[in-house]
Structure 1
Amino acid sequence: MLRSTLLLAFGLAAFAATTARADEFTKTDVERYQKEFEQVAAKGRELWTSGALGTNGVACAQCHPNAANTHPETYPKFQKQLGKVAQLFEMANWCIRNPLQGANLPPDDPRMTALVSYITFERRGVKLAPGQH
C-alpha cells in the first residue's frame, strides 16, 4: 500500500512539474506577435480583394466584401457544398475552385494562412447569430 501511494505521489509530482507553467508572454512579445499577425492578415486582404487566386478575375471580395458571411468562429462545421464536416481552409478551397476557377491551396501554403488570417482578423468581434450560420 505504501509503495502504491509513493508511486502515485511521485507520478503526480512529475506530472505537475511538467505542466505547471505555460509560456509567459511579455508586453513586447504580445505586440510583436500581433504585428506579425496583422502583416499576414494584410497579405490575405490583398489576395481576398484581387483576382490572383483564380483564372477568371473574380475576387473573394465580390461575394464576401470584408469577409462577410464567412463565420470563421463556426468551423469546423458541416458544409453542404462539400457534403461533410469541413475546416475553414477547405471551404476557402471550394470557393477558389468554383467561383474563382482556381486550384486548391495546401493548408500550409502561406497564401492559405494569409487568407484564414484575414478572415479571422476581419470578423473579430462580430456577433454570432445562432441558426443563421
Structure 2
Amino acid sequence: MTIRKSTLAALGASFILGLATALPAHAEAVTDTSKWEKEFEASIKRGEPLYHGGVKVDSNGVACDQCHPEGTNIHPETYPKFQKQLGKVSQLWEMINWCIENPLEGKALAADSQDMVDIIAYLTYIRKGYKLDPGKY
C-alpha cells in the first residue's frame, strides 16, 4: 500500500488544524471575566496582610516586606529562574517558601495552598507595570 506525500501532508495539516481549533466539551468562550476579576481581587486582599504582617507565615515577627518593601528584588515576572539559594531552577512558590523557612523562621506552605496563591497574587499585583530588564534579575 502506497500513501502519497500529498495525502500525508493533508492529513497532518487537518490534524494540526483540528488540535488548534478544538475546544474540550466543557470549555466555553470567555465573555464575562468579572467573576474572575473579583476572585483575583479577593486573593490580593488576603495576600496583603500575609505579606506585610506575616500573620500566618512567620514565627519570629519578621514579615516579607521588611526585606522586600513593595515587592522589591522579588520580580515574580521572571520565574521560573535559577535561584542560587536553592541551587536549581525554581518556581516563585519555592523561593517564597525558602524565605518563609529561613529569614521568617516559619513553616513552608503547600504550593497550591490558598495562602500561597494569595501571596503570589499580591506580589504579582504590586509588581504590575514595573519595567523588566532581561538578564538583570
Report the TM-score, using the length of structure 2 for normalisation: 0.82
2:13 corresponds to which residue?
Answer: 12
Q: Deviations over 1:88-116 (max 9, x none)?
A: 11110010001110111111111111111
1:122 corresponds to which residue?
Answer: 126
Aligned length: 131
Shift of 1:130: 4.0
1:47 aligns with 2:46: no
Q: Separation in 1 of the partners of 2:112 and 2:18?
A: 33
Runs (5+) with no aligned partner, structure 1 = none
Runs (5+) with no aligned partner, structure 2 = none
1:25 corresponds to which residue?
Answer: 30
1:110 corresponds to which residue?
Answer: 114
Do the aligned partners of residues 13 and 40 (structure 1) sit closer, same or farther apart at CA in structure 2, a change above 3 Å counting? same
2:66 corresponds to which residue?
Answer: 62
1:81 aligns with 2:82: no
Q: Separation in 2 of the partners of 1:97 and 1:12?
A: 51
Shift of 1:40: 0.6
> Would you tell me which structure has more helix in proportion to its own residues?
1
Q: Separation in 2 of the partners of 1:72 and 1:4?
A: 47
Shift of 1:132: 3.5
Q: Separation in 1 of the partners of 2:11 and 2:129?
A: 45
Residue 85 of structure 1: SS of its match in structure 2? strand
What is the CA RMSD across the aligned residues, in angstroms? 2.1
Q: Separation in 1 of the partners of 2:67 and 2:4?
A: 66
Report the TM-score, using the length of structure 1 for normalisation: 0.84
Q: Which amino acid aligns with 1:19?
A: A
